[in-house]
């Protein structure tokens, strides 16, 4: 692997641990952003929040193809709440400003 130092101003993390077989590397969810929506995916579900306020929730255990939106079903109210919260946390952590690094 390269031994090039990573500048402090670069966001993100090295994938090196994953490439070296670290099974604990990574996050419990994946954040996706597009022009009209933002989404969070966990092992259990995918939650999509559209800019117009619409929401979608897919149960990946029973619907891995994401064909049936279960966001309106009362049985999924807890999962919907959990994924809303998770998306908000990830968006807030992703938008935190970088620490200033002065060249002098």
Q: What is the CATH number of the domain that holds 67?
A: 3.30.1120.10
pLDDT over 70 at 1, yes or no: no
In a domain, 82, yes or no: yes
- Domain ranges, residue 44: 26-87
Domain count within the chain: 1
- What per-residue confidence (pLDDT) applies to 67? 98
- What per-residue confidence (pLDDT) applies to 92? 84
In a domain, 42, yes or no: yes
In a domain, 4, yes or no: no
- What per-residue confidence (pLDDT) applies to 13? 72
In a domain, 53, yes or no: yes
Q: How far apart are CA 92 and CA 18, in angstroms?
A: 25
Q: How far apart are CA 26 and CA 104, in angstroms?
A: 34
Q: How far apart are CA 59 and CA 45, in angstroms?
A: 5
In a domain, 14, yes or no: no
Tell me, yes or no, if the pTM score tops 0.85: no
Name 63's Cβ contacts closer than 8 Å, sequence gap at least 6. Answer: 70
Q: With contact defined as beta carbons under 8 Å apart, do 38 and 49 qualify?
A: yes
Position 6 confidence tier, pLDDT thresholds 50, 70, 90: confident
């Amino acid at each position: 692997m390269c031994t090039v130092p990573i500048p402090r101003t670069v966001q993100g993390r090295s994938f090196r641990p994953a490439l070296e077989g670290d099974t604990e590397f990574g996050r419990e969810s994946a954040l996706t952003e597009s022009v009209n929506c933002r989404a969070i995916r966990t092992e259990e579900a995918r939650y999509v929040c559209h800019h117009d306020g619409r929401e979608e929730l897919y149960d990946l255990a029973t619907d891995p193809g994401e064909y049936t939106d279960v966001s309106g079903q009362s049985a999924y109210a807890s999962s919907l709440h959990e994924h809303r919260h998770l998306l908000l946390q990830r968006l807030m952590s992703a938008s935190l400003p970088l620490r200033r690094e002065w060249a002098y």
